[in-house]
A and B are shown apart, each in its own frame.
Chain A
Amino acid sequence: MCLGIPGRIIEISGSVAVIDVAGARKTVSMALLDGVSMGDYVIVHAGFAIEKIDTQKAEETLRLINEVIVKR
């Protein structure tokens, strides 16, 4: 029940958004998040978007992982 899954906002109106979660469309409350817009990736938990995914940081994490591996 604690699961949070990533999805992309494909529609947003007021505090409700439609989110594409692995191809499935979910209607989700935006009541817990400020400053999100169309196309943003968010983490969805229990019908709410609980946090935005920082796409730049996401790339950096992968780069960092590869760096650590290459250092061997």
Chain B
Amino acid sequence: MKYLDEYRAREQAQGILGRIREISKRPVNIMEICGTHTHAISRYGIRQALPPNIRLISGPGCPVCVTSAGDINRIIAFSRARPDVIIATFGDMLRVPGSNSSLQEERAAGGDIRVVYSPLNALDFARTNPEKEVVIYAVGFETTAPTVAATILQAHTEAIKNLSVLSLHKLTPPAMKALLDSGGAVIDGFICPGHVTAIIGAKAYGFLADDYHAACVVAGFEPLDAIFGIYMLISQLEAGRAEIEIQYDRVVTWDGNRRAQAIIAEVYEPCDSTWRGVGMIPGSGLAIRQAYAQYDALRRFEIPAGDETEPAGCRCGEVLKGMIAPPECPLFGRACNTERPVGPCMVSSEGTCAAYYKYRSITV
């Protein structure tokens, strides 16, 4: 397929890897923020193909994984308390374990929990079930937030009254700042997420270069994109530069998608948000504005905060902060695997533990 296959050419990948080996002298730590990058890097064995002085650390970029235990427990409790409500969720959230159940188990026990590919599907549920309430369990970063916001605007236009959103959306730049401020993992440069940045624009990372002297390259998700993004980062770091560069410029611009930004700003305002493993990060969430209060599930229903207890023995929190790699978790591949996941990082298709487990024997 066009704009995919040509970025998967093995020969070129080897060529760039060779260049990286030539120019890379000093030890560097590079974090890939996005779960889709983690998967591409694992799937194509990029981590193993790099010289040992380049360490790739996976970050908190899987929306399912960073959803706090409390926010999972609270939707489960809500679904039990309100059997009359249809809960619309992205498929990846279904299997994530809360403290004593998951949405999947709740569904098997009779809860009306429906998987959507697009938030617009929830609009269909609302239209065809006028006697029911539909609540979108809205997790996701800046890529997903405008799709849910556009759905709210559409509901508004059509005067649909039985749809609301539990907004757990999270913002990437505040989390990157929090990671650097926490002084945990040492990070010299970031592979910034391609599609999040298509929305927010590469200029959103300016503070990382200016205030933290972190090199940033916004990269695409095909293997050549990721490897070339790493080449660009190493070129910066070897020259002592810390700049914002865009490798994925066929999709990403400096200013981003202004229309999507306007729709986000119309519907939401920034709020504090709790990230699994990291805790509360100021200004890292999106709450629904007063003007759209009727679409805010938190205002429409009683949805008390849930218990934040993590699954026993699971070290997802440290994985998400880049403090440990998944194989350092004693449960990895033993008690915890993709068949029987213990924590969200193994459940989600974009989770770091799942990526490491699924592609554990791959080399380039």
Binding site for B on A (CB under 8 A): 1-4, 6, 8, 22-23, 29, 31-34, 41, 43, 45-48, 50-55, 57-58, 60-62, 64-66, 68-69, 71-72
Binding site for A on B (CB under 8 A): 1-4, 6-7, 12, 15-16, 18-19, 22, 34-36, 61-64, 90-93, 117-121, 139-141, 143-144, 146-147, 150, 153-154, 193-196, 198-199, 221, 224-225, 228, 231, 247-252, 257, 259-260, 263, 348-350
**CB nearest neighbor in B for A52:** B251
Docked-complex contact B249 and A47, CB < 8 angstroms: no
Docked-complex contact A41 and B195, CB < 8 angstroms: no
- How many A-B pairs fall under 8 Å by CB? 143
Docked-complex contact B224 and A32, CB < 8 angstroms: no
In the complex, 11 of the A-B residue pairs with CB atoms within 8 angstroms, ordered by the A residue number, are A1-B350, A2-B62, A4-B194, A32-B147, A41-B3, A45-B195, A51-B195, A51-B198, A54-B251, A57-B249, A68-B15
User: Known contacts being A1-B91, A2-B144, A47-B117, is A53 close to B257, with CB within 8 Å?
Assistant: no
Contacting residues, chain A, for B154 (C-beta < 8 A): 31
**CB nearest neighbor in A for B61:** A2
Docked-complex contact B36 and A3, CB < 8 angstroms: yes
Bound complex: CA of A1 vs CA of B259, how far in Å?
A: 22
**CB nearest neighbor in A for B143:** A45
Could you say which of B12, B15, B119, B146 contacts A50, with CB atoms under 8 Å apart? B146
Docked-complex contact B350 and A2, CB < 8 angstroms: yes
Bound complex: CA of A51 vs CA of B26, how far in Å?
A: 37
Contacting residues, chain B, for A72 (C-beta < 8 A): 15, 18-19, 22
Bound complex: CA of A17 vs CA of B140, how far in Å?
A: 24
Bound complex: CA of A31 vs CA of B152, how far in Å?
A: 12
Bound complex: CA of A60 vs CA of B251, how far in Å?
A: 13
Docked-complex contact B260 and A32, CB < 8 angstroms: yes
Could you say which of A41, A60, A65 contacts B2, with CB atoms under 8 Å apart? A41
Bound complex: CA of A46 vs CA of B129, how far in Å?
A: 22
Contacting residues, chain B, for A60 (C-beta < 8 A): 249
Docked-complex contact B63 and A50, CB < 8 angstroms: no
Docked-complex contact A1 and B92, CB < 8 angstroms: yes
